[in-house]
Amino acid sequence: MKDKKLAKDKKPTNAQLKLMKSLPQVVHLCPVCRAHSGRRKLSWKTRMWAEAECSRAKERGVDLEVYECPYKPDTFHHTHRRPAHR
């Protein structure tokens, strides 16, 4: 199906696809929010799951924090925590 609006969307990253495949009840793409790259943000069904993913990211040296989606309450996104100083 070709739709101009959809065609503008960047495809989810492999990491996003992998998560959605392994946790189909828990993680989706937010219909509203986008990352800086233009990709849709992953949306977690509960804060607990989002925080669990934060802990996994931390093991890979990625510092994430969880915030509630401003458009869809009760879903949660990650954002990169900015380093305090660089």
54 contact partners, CB below 8 Å, separation of at least 6: 64, 65, 66, 78
Strand 40-44 to strand 27-34: parallel, antiparallel, or no bridges (unpaired)? antiparallel
How far is residue 41's CA from residue 35's CA, in Å, rounded to a whole number?
Answer: 6
Residue whose CB is nearest to Zn ion in the complex, by number: 33
For residues 56 and 71, which CB has a smaller minimum distance to Zn ion in the complex? 71
For residues 61 and 70, which CB has a smaller minimum distance to Zn ion in the complex? 70
Please state the closest distance from residue 11 (CB atom) to Zn ion, in A.
Answer: 18
For residues 9 and 84, which CB has a smaller minimum distance to Zn ion in the complex? 9
Cβ–Cβ under 8 Å, residues 23 and 53 = no
Please state the closest distance from residue 34 (CB atom) to Zn ion, in A.
Answer: 9
Chain residues that interact with Zn ion, rule: CB under 5 A: 30, 32-33, 69
Q: Which helix (DSSP H) or strand (DSSP E) does residue 67 occupy?
A: strand 64-68
Please state the closest distance from residue 24 (CB atom) to Zn ion, in A.
Answer: 18
